[in-house]
Amino acid sequence: MSPRTCKLGTHWLLMILLCALSAADGCRDGSWPLWDAYAAHFIDAQSRVIDHANGNRTTSQGQAYAMFFALADDDRRTFERLLAWTEVNMADGDLGTHLPGRLWAQDSDGVWKLQDSNPASDADVWMAYTLVEAGRLWNVPSYTALGRAMVAQIAKNEVADLPGFGPMLLPGPTGFQHGQSWTLNPGSMPLFLFQRLATVDPAGPWRQIAFGIPRMLEESARHGYAMDWVNYIPGDGFMPAPTIEAGNKDGDVSGGSYDAIRVYLWAGMIDGSGNLRAQVIGSIPGMSAYLANHDAPPQNVSDRGIPMAQDGPVGFSAAVLPYLRAFPNTSRISAQQMVRIARMRDASTGLYGKDLAYYDQSLVLFATGFIDGRFRFGAGGELNVEWKR
């Protein structure tokens, strides 16, 4: 078989696999069965997103992601119910003046309540962005106003001016500055969100944050792998945080794993018309090189940039699909990940993975929704949805 024939065959295999996943998750015109399956399994009658694997807790991240998926699917009823529950239970009844607390869970007395009132910026920026775009796409000015109010709160409470660098998003309002060093979470920073917020709030720090993300990734990545947690020290710059016990995160984390996998996902979704996408992709080439010789992304990468042997879950394979598109000659690698995802689909639920984990489904929804063209992010970070075209 000639090289050209082999390349063509791989291309068609990838197209067939993409069509197969689209058929499983819904055709590009109409309903989104994966979102329907997600909502049926993870969203209860109150409209809170339940993380079944972690004590049936609810996080602001889960609420924010679900609001985005509902908007992408033109599911306004679910969007409104998610927003209402979040505002009442996690934001003291007013998202315009209170960023949502991170964690709603059951205490030792069996009472369900807000257990961690410290906000999580990864949820906050997604929620604010989604509200602004919902206001524009559905023509609901109250959503836009609420999103803008959240943007102002994020700028005030969750952005630090790093000496010698400039503004950067912190993981939350408290617990992430330690004397003259700051701890950051790269997975909390989808560059396209800040591109859009720069238009929504031109006087804010958003454009500077967007332009600073490539440098942060380039300096902190080891052997081209993104890290879960990054420290910034004036004069030394960005570096992996060997361990983290900061703020509102549970336990110790080192290297790159569950938070860092989102860095690859967000990178692949950046619009390619400027040079920022190339800069971000160019700072984290390690995952692409690794997958050329391995069946799945590693579950963990050490803070020295050494992949561990254990394969990551199904959501990791989904998360790298948009990222792999940015590299030449990766059709075979992408097809391999698509095969792995398809094999791990649970036919009885329409969800993915052995344990049907909330986080895995979120990653698959983001990745396949983007690849299927249900949504895209424009040159200014604006959300383009299929149901508007």
List, in order of start, the domains of the chain with CATH numbers: 3-388 (1.50.10.10)
What are the structure tokens assigned to 16, written together? 């067939």
- Other Cβ atoms less than 10 A from the Cβ of 6: the count is 11
DSSP string, 235-291: TTEEEE-S----TT--S---SBSTTTHHHHHHHHHS-TTSSHHHHHHHH--HHHHHH
* Predicted pLDDT of residue 27: 46
What angle (nearest 5°) sits at the alpha carbon of residue 270, between those of residues 265 and 274? 150
pLDDT 10s digits, 97-140: 999 999 999 998 889 999 999 999 999 999 999 999 999 999 99
The CA-based dihedral angle spanning residues 102, 196, 257, 330, taken in that order and rounded to the nearest 10 degrees: 150
Nearest residue to 190 (alpha-carbon basis) of 249, 134, 267: 267
Amino acid, res. 143: Y
Kindly state the percentage of the chain with pLDDT values over 70: 89
Model pTM above 0.85 = yes
What are the structure tokens assigned to 354, written together? 């052995």
**Mean of the pLDDT values across residues 249-256?**
59
- Angstrom distance (rounded) from CA 51 to CA 1: 49
The answer, yes or no, to whether residue 61 has pLDDT greater than 60, is yes
The answer, yes or no, to whether residue 249 has pLDDT greater than 70, is no
Residue 31 pLDDT class (50, 70, 90 cuts) = confident
Q: Residues 320, 265: contact at Cβ < 8 Å?
A: yes
The answer, yes or no, to whether residue 85 has pLDDT greater than 70, is yes
The answer, yes or no, to whether residue 144 has pLDDT greater than 90, is yes
What are the structure tokens assigned to 303, written together? 């803070």
The answer, yes or no, to whether residue 248 has pLDDT greater than 50, is no
* Predicted pLDDT of residue 254: 65
pLDDT 10s digits, 318-352: 999 999 999 999 999 999 999 999 999 999 999 99
Residue 167 pLDDT class (50, 70, 90 cuts) = very high
User: Mean pLDDT lowest for which of 5-19, 76-90, 124-138?
Assistant: 5-19
* Predicted pLDDT of residue 266: 98
- Angstrom distance (rounded) from CA 370 to CA 376: 6
* Predicted pLDDT of residue 71: 98
Kindly state the percentage of the chain with pLDDT values over 90: 86
Q: Residues 170, 190: contact at Cβ < 8 Å?
A: no
Q: Please report the beta strands in the chain, taking only residues with DSSP state E, as ranges in sequence order.
A: 58-59, 103-106, 112-116, 159-162, 166-169, 177-178, 181-184, 230-233, 237-240, 345-346, 351-352, 375-377, 383-385
**Averaged confidence pLDDT in the chain:** 91
* Predicted pLDDT of residue 274: 87
The answer, yes or no, to whether residue 250 has pLDDT greater than 80, is no
pLDDT 10s digits, 173-188: 999 999 999 999 999 9
Residue 17 pLDDT class (50, 70, 90 cuts) = low
* Predicted pLDDT of residue 325: 95
Q: Taking phi first (over 0 means left), then psi (-120 to 50 degrees means alpha), and beta for anything else, what does residue 307 get?
A: beta
Span between the terminal Cα atoms of the chain, in Å: 41
**Mean of the pLDDT values across residues 238-266?**
75
